[in-house]
């Protein structure tokens, strides 16, 4: 099944635009989990079981797993396999922001799509269409291109004027016109830049889905994001929240605390977009 169909059917099924990020961090895990044999997997499993009915997707960020070497990669694989087996209708977005020459991208794509079997990845556009073709050729997978990032310094390069147009708009236009031949492209457009999001939405039209990080710890404004990014169907956004949900609790009840936070966020998103 195509990523976009899987996502849409998930959103239709449970009415949620909330994506929970799975970025465990050893020092922030509850002590009893930190001391277990596979701490990231144990942590993720509890968070997933507590939030599954509330999400449209999960987004593990590879950095948090790679930082622990082989054990971390193994726990990333176990996490993906757990979601695929127990919650097969929930798409997995591997956030790894890769981008290199085509020959190397093929290997990154193999890791994501063949070893882990995830449904979508985040990629860097910097090397251009000829290089990212290695990702785009996976017609059934979601290819989520970094466009407007959430960090305070995002504008340093992304706002540069290129042929009279800002670079992030140029990237969005390129994705719209040249990269999306298989209909499998999405864009990362961050919650911390709602004005820019509105411009991207106008440029690419209502159908392209945005992955939206930056709500919660990074301070993005939910109302402004929904006003800027929703399409007429009141969808078109995957709203990712990570630390504010997964580290909502610190003790034995951490998963219940994560669930409570996810519940209130998904309800707030739906209230503000006028969907009950």
Q: Binding to ligand OMP (CB under 6 A): which residues in 5-44?
A: 21, 23
Which of 231, 193, 233 has its CA nearest to residue 212? 193
| Contact window for ligand OMP (CB under 6 A) among 9-17, 45-53, 172-180, 208-216 | 208-216
| Contact window for ligand OMP (CB under 6 A) among 49-57, 108-116, 221-229, 241-249 | 241-249
Give exposure, 52-85, as e/b (b: 16+ Cβ within 10 Å).
Answer: bebbbbbbbbbebbeebeeebbebbeebbeebee
| Contact window for ligand OMP (CB under 6 A) among 35-43, 45-53, 102-110, 214-222 | 214-222
> Do 189 and 229 touch, CB atoms closer than 8 A?
yes
Residue 21 exposed, middle or buried by CB count within 10 Å (0-12, 13-18, 19+): buried
What are the angstrom distances between the C-alpha of 115 and each of 21, 26, 74, 80, 102? 20, 24, 11, 10, 19
> Do 98 and 121 touch, CB atoms closer than 8 A?
yes
Minimum distance of ligand OMP from residue 232's CB (angstroms): 25
34/243 with CB nearer ligand OMP: 243
Write out the E strands in 27-92. Answer: 57-60
Backbone dihedral angles phi then psi of residue 60, each to the nearest 5 degrees = -75, 135
44, 51, 122, 158: which one contacts ligand OMP (CB under 6 A)? 122
The answer to whether residue 141 is catalytic is no
Two tokens, residue 70: 């082989």
Q: Binding to ligand OMP (CB under 6 A): which residues in 50-89?
A: 61
Q: Does 241 bind ligand OMP (CB under 6 A)?
A: yes
213, 255, 265, 269: which one contacts ligand OMP (CB under 6 A)? 213
242, 248, 258, 261: which one contacts ligand OMP (CB under 6 A)? 242
| Contact window for ligand OMP (CB under 6 A) among 68-76, 127-135, 196-204, 209-217 | 209-217
> Do 232 and 207 touch, CB atoms closer than 8 A?
no
Give the total of residues touching ligand OMP (CB under 6 A): 19
Q: Cα separation of 171 and 187, whole Å? A: 9
89, 107, 178, 217: which one contacts ligand OMP (CB under 6 A)? 217
Minimum distance of ligand OMP from residue 276's CB (angstroms): 25
> Do 215 and 239 touch, CB atoms closer than 8 A?
yes
The site string for ligand OMP over 168-207 (x = CB under 6 A, - otherwise) reads --------------------x-x-----------------
Site residues, ligand OMP (CB under 6 A)? 21, 23, 61, 95, 122, 149-150, 188, 190, 211, 213-214, 216-218, 240-243
User: Hey, which residues are catalytic here?
Assistant: 97
């Amino acid at each position: 099944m195509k990523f976009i169909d899987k996502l849409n059917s998930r959103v239709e099924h449970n009415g949620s635009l909330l994506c929970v990020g799975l970025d465990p961090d050893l020092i922030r895990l509850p002590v009893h989990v930190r001391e277990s044999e596979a701490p990231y997997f144990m942590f993720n499993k509890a968070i997933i079981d507590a939030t599954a009915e509330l999400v449209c997707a999960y987004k593990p960020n590879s950095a948090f797993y790679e930082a622990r070497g082989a054990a971390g990669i193994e726990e990333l694989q176990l996490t993906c396999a757990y979601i695929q087996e127990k919650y097969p209708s929930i798409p997995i977005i591997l956030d790894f922001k890769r981008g290199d020459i085509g020959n190397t991208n093929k290997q990154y794509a193999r890791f994501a799509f063949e070893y882990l079997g995830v449904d979508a990845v985040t990629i860097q556009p910097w090397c251009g269409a000829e290089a990212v073709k290695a990702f785009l050729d996976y017609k059934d997978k979601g290819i989520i291109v970094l466009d407007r990032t959430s960090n305070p310094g995002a504008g340093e390069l992304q706002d540069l004027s290129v042929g009279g147009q800002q670079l992030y708009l140029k990237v969005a236009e390129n994705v719209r016109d040249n990269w999306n031949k298989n209909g499998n492209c999405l864009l990362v457009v961050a919650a911390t830049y709602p004005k820019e999001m509105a411009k991207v939405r106008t440029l690419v039209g209502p159908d392209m889905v945005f992955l939206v990080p930056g709500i919660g710890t990074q301070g993005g404004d939910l109302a402004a994001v929904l006003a800027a990014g929703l399409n007429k169907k009141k969808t078109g956004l995957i709203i990712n929240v990570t630390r504010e949900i997964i580290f909502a609790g610190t003790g034995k009840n951490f998963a219940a605390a994560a669930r409570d936070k996810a519940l209130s966020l998904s309800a707030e998103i739906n209230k503000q977009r006028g969907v009950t």
